[in-house]
Amino acid sequence: MTFPGVRPRRLRALPALRSMVAETSVAPGQLILPVFVGEGLSEPKPITSMPGVVQHTMDSLKATAVEAASAGLAGVMIFGLPEHKDAQGSQALAPDGILTTALREVRAEVGDACLVMSDVCLDEFTDHGHCGVLTADGHVDNDATLEIYAEMAVLHAEAGAHVVGPSGMMDGQVGAIRSALDRAGHPQTVILAYSAKYASAFYGPFREAVNSSLSGDRRTYQQDSRNLREALREIELDIAEGADIIMVKPALAYLDVIAAARAACDLPIAAYNISGEYAMVEAAAANGWIDRERAIEETVTGIRRAGADVVLTYWALELARSVGR
Give the residue numbers marked as catalytic.
197, 249
70 three-class SS: helix
**What is the separation of C-alpha 189 from the centre of its chain, rounded to a whole number of angstroms?**
17
Nearest to 247 by CA among 291, 294, 196: 196
Q: How far apart are CA 1 and CA 244, in angstroms?
A: 56
Q: How far is CA 324 from CA 29, 70, 302, 309, in A?
A: 12, 12, 20, 20
Q: How far apart are CA 227 and CA 200, in angstroms?
A: 13
Nearest to 271 by CA among 296, 248, 299: 248
60 three-class SS: helix
Q: How far apart are CA 116 and CA 102, in angstroms?
A: 10
The one-character DSSP state at 158 is H
Q: Helix, strand, coil proportions of the chain in percent (round to 5)?
A: 45, 20, 40
Which residue intervals of 242-309 are DSSP H helices? Answer: 255-264, 275-286, 292-306
Provide the b/e sequence for 234-256 (b: ≥16 CB within 10 Å): bbebbbebebbbbbbbbbbebbe
